[in-house]
Chains A and B, each alone.
Chain A
Amino acid sequence: EVHLVESGGDLVHPGGSRRLSCAASGFTFSFYEMNWIRQAPGQGLEWLANISISGSVTSYADSVKGRFTISRDNGKNSVFLQMNSLRAEDTAIYYCATGGDNGAYFQHWGQGTVVTVSS
């Protein structure tokens, strides 16, 4: 069974940094692209970042480009999101999700980790 577990969420001051992790199990991690998606309180879903199978290609939403960095470690079955220059509007639940077997949809999701940016 596919299992994704995010960690690293916390209360962060504006301008601060945080690194989120997502540990994967139950599937061949190195076969799947990975993504980070967030959901602000009471709001909809926002895709943030994607990383290729090898980790050599990344893509970002404009809202986080230049501030957030996605990376992966296939040896440790993990994907990461380094978040810098955090703002109040980055407050959200952050989900990691696999790419799909047949396209760039989000097939499997973790339970999410909460990041709150506040002074």
Chain B
Amino acid sequence: DIQLTQSPSTLSASVGDRVTITCRASQNIYSSLAWYQQKPGRAPKLLIYKASNLESGVPSTFSGSGFGTEFTLTVSSLQPDDFASYYCQQYNRYPWTFGQGTKVEIK
């Protein structure tokens, strides 16, 4: 199975900060990577697909980059609504797998 390792596991930041979350894959997944946001008690929400494509309706403060085994999710200016958990997911090869998650907390 393809393992996805996110770092950091927890991130403390302030409103207006630029934050970056990294997702590393155990093997080449090309650009078959998505990012999700999940708030407590809610279902995950798709943010980014194909490593860098912004899902419709997602603020442009979110961006994704990377190819192969290393990927990043960047929030250019953290807003109060952005404090949540974030997960990467690979869909290059079955079984599709998720990273363990990154919780973005208020500093």
Partner-A contacts on B (CB < 8 A): 32, 34, 36, 38, 42-46, 49-50, 53, 55, 87, 89, 91, 94-101
Contact = CB atoms under 8 A, between A and B. Distances in A.
Interface in A4-54: 44-47, 50
A76 B28 CA distance: 39
- The majority secondary structure among interface residues of chain B is loop
Interface residues of A toward B: which range?
20 to 34
A80 interface: no
Contact of A45 (B50, B55, B89): B89
A105 B89 contact: yes
B87 A110 contact: no
Interface of A: 44-47, 50, 59-62, 95, 100, 102-112
A77 B32 CA distance: 28
A101 to B, nearest CB: 9
Contacts of B98: 44-47
Nearest to A59: B94
Given A46-B98, A105-B34, A105-B49, A111 B43 contact: yes
